[in-house]
Structures are given as structure tokens and as C-alpha cells.
Structure 1
């Protein structure tokens, strides 16, 4: 029995649910701006390229947190780092809710990225450690669902609130701030799983690829780059596609279009989680390739239906490529170097989600949205072919 009258298994289950909730709530905040970027453009008068820079600033914050504080939870504990992520996310929500100057948006995105980086490194481990024995088998899938699913929920929530309330650029952040306060309170039931060591010293989490995993890492990174670059396209440029190319200015439509990708990613990782590595990489490559074909057709035709289908198909492919690529790297790396290998993989992923989006924003001003989208889809399609061709490198990796 634990303290009080609550049985230990029940308390552990409660802590497990709380960590999953905290993880999801923080990740919700990272995608809230996406459906309302067009509103920000009207409010502040900035170009579509500025939205891609805002997205890149967020990604830079994620990478900085992964490298800067990735190992800190081993020293100070999981709960303090989770709380830090919640607080930083709350600061971001407040800055966006105020939203009286363009500079506040950029600062808010930095805080949002840093909070996401903390949860990416600490939240996943916390979910696995908090899981009761009966839930160990699904803990990894639930961590993924909290992460990727939270991204999708953020877009949907922002689009819905921007559509049904008279405060499109404030209501989503007020609701998110309330959820974050609840998340902070929920941490009270989460048990600490790290035994703090007095002589432990802080060090940067250096990304690195051990020689044993380089072959697999190179193959997995191709799929991760393609998948996350597509995520970057939908998160930073798709709102302009929907408004300018399709002529639809509904925040809810933008939210649903972009959220569909992340929802499909989470579902694919859970439903198809028992596939072998080679079949999963092959399936993900094919799905993402088909998604890019649909995108290249949807934009010239200005078809919302095809764009939605593309989002779902692409999301499923991204989910398989990323999650199974990560699984292969973890399996190939030595036990004592898995953390730095996974950190390197996440750094590659977040560079892929930001750099191509910036290039797309630049291209948009030069050749237009439709041509940019079709060209982007073509490049990602080539990467999918390369990822499919390299599926054999995963053969023999323990799954």
C-alpha cells in the first residue's frame, strides 16, 4: 500500500495517466499557432515567409533543449523537468495570448520549442518508467500518441476555437493555459523514478552515432528527413495553401487539414506497431510517396478533398518511417550510447522540419504557392524512393 488509502497499483496507474496527460498538453501548445497564421498575417501584415521563420524558431528551441538539457532529468529528477516544460509552455501561452507585437510571437515560439524539447527527451522516458506492469507493452505507443497526437490536437483545438469564438488569436491560448495549470497539478500524483546522486554533474547531451549503428542510422535518417519535412510543410506552409490556393479562410478547415497528418501518424504507429522493421519501412515509404503524388495533384486542381486525403496518407507514412527508424537505431546502438544516438536522430528530424520549410517560404515568394508545393512534393517523393531502396539495411536488426 502507498501513503493514505490508495493502493499502490492504483496510484501508479494514476501517475502513469498523469504523465501521458502532461506530455500531450505541452505538445498541444506547440502547434496552436498553425491554423491561425493567416489571422496573424492580417493582424501584423507580415508575409507567408515569416510564418516559416516562426516555425523554424520553434524547431531551434527544440534542438537547443535536446542538446542543452537532455541529460538534466538524470540529475534533478523527472518531475522537476516535466514541471519546467509545463511552466515554459505556460509562458509561451501567455505571450501568444497577449499578442500585441510580432516580437512576442517569436519569443513565445522559442519558449514553446524549448518546452517541447524538454518533453521530447524527458516525457518519453517518464511515460515508460511510470507504466504499471500491465501497461508496459503499450507504454511506448502511448508515449508516441501523447507526442504526435498532442501536435494534432493542438491544431484542431486552435482551429475550432478560432472558428467559434470572437477571439481567434487569444481563445486557444487561454484554454491551453488552463490545461497547463491542470497538468501542473497532475504532476503531484507522479512518483519520482530517479534517485538523485550528490556527485552527479551536468553535461550537454552530445548527439552522436556509434559505429555499430551508422549503417542503420543513415538509412533511418532518410525516411525521418522526408517525413518531418512533410510535417514542416503542412505545419508552416499549408495554412497559406488553404487560404490562397484553395480560397478557404476557415481556421477550422486549416486545423483539420493539418491535424489529420499528425492524427494519422499516431494511429499508424499504434495500429501497425507489430510490423517488422523492413515491411514497416517499405510500407511507410510507399504511403508517403503516394501522399506526395496526391499533394502534387491537389494543389493545381485546388482540391480540398485531395489535400485532406494527402494529409492522412502522408501522416501514416511519416509515422511508420519515423517510429520504426527510431526503433532500429535503438536496437543497433550499444546500451551505453543509445541516448546520444536517439538525440542525434531527433536533431536530424527537427532540422528536417525547419530548414525545408524555410526554403519553401523563400520559394513561395519567387515562384508562387502552387509551384512551390508541387516542387516540394517531388523532392520528398525522391527521398521516399531512396528510403524504400534502403530498406534492406534494416534486415537483421533486432526488432
Structure 2
């Protein structure tokens, strides 16, 4: 491998990996503004579109479980390059696609690239952070993730609206960006201590008894938040076209970008909220945002959708970051990676199976009824998580009082 051109924990290396993180994640949401062209070109039903989208989650889960801890053995840089290779292969599959098979393979490879980056790039960004930036390193990692996810639909929306070849050009542009990211990663130093004898194994998934009480409400709130992410990435474009009458890819991409940008904002906002109220605040944001999304259907209101998107994004960001922090702090240090992986498994199941069900509902009924059903069920899920959080806090308060007595 190329020798490091910058010193460890330098601003250049830190920003370089954060940039590569965003570029890689951008590719995972790139098809959002392109799905309607696949429907027109191949005659796909809403169910098929959501299945194509959800095959991404299969790739993520496979990578998390199979290679989630390999960067400790092979090094961060090698695994980041492997993730970028999978992202480039995904873009090539989309460029060459002539039907369902290659589209699903492209999404699967995109999921594998995201699964590799989710853990490896997060750790690499934290390890490369200069000492003065260490307190913000986790925020930088999660923000790079979310902003990259948001930039994908925005980039593809602009390209499909203003230029020809809507099903090809966005992937060619992303392939070029992946090449830039690979060159950037080659220039950063290795932060992991690679053992003399490499031992590769499957990432363990487990839930110690001491973390279960914190895990269940956090996982429910996180699940609901990522169901919302799946809705906006796979189904919301159809809602925007059919119900609100906006056919511009730029409009669609901008609305989906708004969700992810507000998620990153929510992760910043949660730091100024008292720790015991963070997850509850995220749940409230999700509920109010979902109500506004539901109101945009009968009112046919773009304003209601924009407000709901912003509030749901902020709520999702708060609940995701707060839940992850709560679980990590409750887990034993030597099992923290296993517990965190379990949390991410729940989140990525949330952006696959429910979205497939929503696609079936759209096909059997219509987008309006399916959206209202989605809103209602997701609100119920968030309220259950909120009740569990309140009960856990009450129990914790009683335990503390008993100890004090």
C-alpha cells in the first residue's frame, strides 16, 4: 500500500476520510430520483421498486455480520478501499443494467459497500481526529453518513432533470467521485494495529442482560426512525408526483435531502438536550413530523410535507444518536461492538421489510391510503417506544430513590 502522506490525527486525514464516507454513502441513495424512469422503461410495479430498494439492506446486513470486525485485523484503509470497490462495482451494474437482475445486484453491492463503511469509516474518522476535534469526531462521522445519504438523491435529481441519460449519467458521475475517494483514502495513514497473525471471523450479535432494558426502547425508536428513512428513499418520490403533482427530479431530490440534512441537525441538537430527555424528544419530533406528512395527503400541501420532513428528520437524528449513545454506555466495554452491531441490524431491517410491505400496499390500494397507513402504524410504534422510555425512567428513578433510602 502507499505510504501515508500525512501524519496520523491530522486535519487533512480526518477530513479526507469524512469526505470518502460521504461519497460512498451518496451512492446508496442515488437511485431515489431514478426509480420512476425504471418504472417507465421496464414497467415495474411499486412492489418491484421497493424490492429493488430493499435488496440494499440485505447487502448491508451481510457485510455487517460477515466483515464487520475485519478492519481490526486487515486495517481500516484496506477495508475502506474494499467498500469503495463494492461501490464502484454497484455503479457499473447500474450502468450496464438491462432489467431487474442487474438492478438488484447493483443495490446488493451498494448495501455491501455501506455495510463495510458504516463501522470502518466511523472508527477511522474518530481515530484520525486531531486532539482538539476529538469531542466532535463521532458527530462528524454520523453527519458524514447522513449528509452523504442526502446528497445522493439531490445529485441524481439534478442530473436526471437537466441532462440526458437519466438511468446512466448519475452512476457515471458517482463512479468518478468514487475514484476520487479511493485516491484520497490511499493517502491517509493506517490507524489500526494489524496483528502478525490475522484471524478473520463473523461479527457476533448478542445482547447482554445489563443492556436489554435500555436496548428495547432505543431499538424501537431507532426502528421507527429508519422506517421513515426507507419511506422517503423508496416511496416518497411517488407521493410527491402523484399526490402533490411535482414531477421534477430536483424537487424530489431536495425533499429527500431535507430529511437527511435535518437528521444531521438533530444529531447536533441532541447535545443541548438533557440526556434523560433526548430519546423522548426524538420520539416527539417523529410523531409530529409524521402527522404533518399524513396531513399533506388530504390537503395536498407541499408545505405540510416539507414541515413533516424537517421535523421527522430532526426527530430521527435525535433518537438515533441518543439511542446509540445510551446503548453504548450501558454495554460492557468488551462487548460494545457486538451490542452496537445488534442495534444496526435492527435499523437496517427497518429500511427493508416495512418498505416492501408499503410497496405492496401501494399496489393493492393507492399511494394516498398506503401513506396514511404507514403514518398511523409508525406513530403507534413510536408511541410504544415513548411509553417504554417513560417506564424505564420511572423505574430508574425508583431504583435511585431506594438506594438513597
TM range (shorter): over 0.9
- Counterparts of 2:250 and 2:58, CA distance in 1: 27
Match of 2:240 among 226, 242, 247: 242
Aligned to 1:269: 267
Once the two structures are TM-superposed, the CA of residue 275 in structure 1 deviates from its matched residue by 2.4
Measured against aligned partners, the alpha-carbon deviations of 1:123-161 in whole angstroms (never above 9, x if no partner) come to 101111111101101110000111111100111111111
The farther-off stretch of 330-339 and 266-275 is 266-275
The farther-off stretch of 159-168 and 241-250 is 241-250
Aligned to 1:340: 338
Match of 2:144 among 143, 146, 163: 146
- Asked if 1:42 is matched to 2:40, the reply is yes
Aligned to 1:175: 173
Aligned to 2:135: 137
Aligned to 2:403: none
- Counterparts of 1:84 and 1:49, CA distance in 2: 31
- Asked if 1:111 is matched to 2:112, the reply is no
Equivalent residues of 1:278, 1:391 under 8 A apart: no
Aligned to 2:276: 278
Equivalent residues of 2:6, 2:12 under 8 A apart: no
Equivalent residues of 2:74, 2:198 under 8 A apart: no
Once the two structures are TM-superposed, the CA of residue 345 in structure 1 deviates from its matched residue by 0.2
Aligned to 1:360: 358
- Counterparts of 1:252 and 1:60, CA distance in 2: 28
Match of 1:95 among 86, 93, 96: 93
| Gap regions ≥5 residues in structure 1 | none
Measured against aligned partners, the alpha-carbon deviations of 1:78-116 in whole angstroms (never above 9, x if no partner) come to 000000001110111122123333321111001000000
The farther-off stretch of 256-265 and 94-103 is 94-103
The farther-off stretch of 267-276 and 111-120 is 267-276
Judged with a 3 Å threshold, the aligned counterparts in structure 2 of structure 1 residues 243 and 189 are, in CA distance, closer, same or farther, namely same
Judged with a 3 Å threshold, the aligned counterparts in structure 2 of structure 1 residues 355 and 140 are, in CA distance, closer, same or farther, namely same
- Counterparts of 1:132 and 1:274, CA distance in 2: 23
- Counterparts of 1:345 and 1:197, CA distance in 2: 28
Once the two structures are TM-superposed, the CA of residue 7 in structure 1 deviates from its matched residue by 7.7
Aligned to 1:296: 294
- Counterparts of 1:113 and 1:274, CA distance in 2: 33
Measured against aligned partners, the alpha-carbon deviations of 1:293-343 in whole angstroms (never above 9, x if no partner) come to 111110122222211211111011011111110000000000010000000
* SS of residue in 1 equivalent to 2:165: coil
Tell me the TM-score normalized by structure 2: 0.93
Equivalent residues of 2:7, 2:189 under 8 A apart: no
Matched pairs, number: 393
Deviating above 6 A after TM superposition, structure 1's stretches of 4 or more consecutive aligned residues are none
Measured against aligned partners, the alpha-carbon deviations of 1:220-277 in whole angstroms (never above 9, x if no partner) come to 0110111011111111111111122222221111111212111100111023324233
**What is the aligned-residue RMSD (CA, Å)?**
1.8
Once the two structures are TM-superposed, the CA of residue 44 in structure 1 deviates from its matched residue by 1.0
Aligned to 2:191: 193
- Counterparts of 2:387 and 2:339, CA distance in 1: 23
- Counterparts of 2:13 and 2:76, CA distance in 1: 12
> What does residue range 153-168 of structure 1 map to in structure 2 within 5 Å?
153-168=151-166
Equivalent residues of 2:68, 2:116 under 8 A apart: yes
Aligned to 2:53: 55
Measured against aligned partners, the alpha-carbon deviations of 1:13-62 in whole angstroms (never above 9, x if no partner) come to 21111110111100000000001111111011111111110111001100
> What does residue range 305-320 of structure 1 map to in structure 2 within 5 Å?
305-320=303-318
Judged with a 3 Å threshold, the aligned counterparts in structure 2 of structure 1 residues 88 and 219 are, in CA distance, closer, same or farther, namely same
